[in-house]
Structure 1
């Protein structure tokens, strides 16, 4: 449990850290509007700085189909797609009318998509090859704080400051279930490996939920 490195990385709060799937890289995104790439095999040097967002950068995600590419989400309402090697911006999506809190790549069938969650109370699914929004997930009554596509089950989960979790069909985007546990705002979701259990982090605690059935029915163990 010894600390091996202490890095003065950003001049404002750090919102997310993302580890590259195959290379010794970590991406950090910050309220200083910057994204930085760190190489731990080179004593954690900052090898790239990605500039372009006009507000806090809330999250980044590597493209699993092109590991030289990543997406970033910002409170400026845009999604930006970046090239790791060149450090350049590939393109920008004017994605939401308010800030974006989260972003994730996922596959549906053999087609790649992005999903983003926003302070405009919606999540959106993007075909980033055509740069088009293919679906808007509506129903939350407050900011969408986290989106998560289950690695095994055919579902998408959205979390919100309205205190609910919504479970959506990954193919039809139909709302299967709305879960509420009285723990106030829901901030994050994580999956247990090789399990149908999902963990939600809320203002008032953490809950473990077992998602079962094709319609997203649930049972919960606290």
Structure 2
């Protein structure tokens, strides 16, 4: 149908916009994300701001508005406002962010790093909820969300783990704001 060739680095990930199936985003190793329409070989706009190559991206909605989360070798995940076409928040990590997920059922964002850490963030205020360490040699390589539940699967170098995140009503009983004791992991 169409070839899209504006990237100057290798393309590492791409996702269709869930709000507009004629639009998609692609992330490259040359530190840019391009947003496209399937109707044109020319990109609609470019997002830049990471200091390393992009590994991953995902769309999500917050307060009825569309955002994009991207992960990079610069040890950050960035939140992009798709209306303003700019970065609105940066999530700091200890190593390269190689996988991201906007949970389909819960208002959380999940980031995975090459040192095996899974970070769970609030999608409303971008506050860190918890960090789960899968262990050395367990770099996170991908996520899959189980529709209709608080579960998601984590593919890592040593296997697959399934993680259960309770919904917000279950979490409201946590007095210190930390949810570390309420998240369960199954290998």
TM-score (norm 1): 0.75
Deviations 1:124-147 (A, max 9, x none): 001121112111011x22110111
Equivalences for residues 1-222 of structure 1 within 5 A = 47-138=1-92, 140-182=93-135, 184-212=138-166, 213-214=170-171, 216=179, 217-222=182-187
Deviations 1:78-133 (A, max 9, x none): 01011211222111111311100111111012111111000001000011211121
Q: RMSD of aligned C-alpha atoms?
A: 1.3
Q: How many residues align?
A: 175
Which of the pair has the greater relative contact order for Cα pairs under 8 Å at 6+ separation? 2
- Does the Cα contact within 8 Å between 1:96 and 1:120 map onto a contact in 2? yes
Deviating more after overlay: 70-79 vs 210-219: 210-219
Deviations 1:145-195 (A, max 9, x none): 111011111111000002100000111111010001225211111111212
Three-state SS of the structure 1 residue aligned to 2:154 is strand
User: Which blocks of at least 5 consecutive residues in structure 2 are unaligned?
Assistant: 172-177
TM-score (norm 2): 0.89
Q: Structure 1: which 4+ aligned runs deviate by more than 2 Å?
A: 213-217
- Does the Cα contact within 8 Å between 2:6 and 2:42 map onto a contact in 1? no
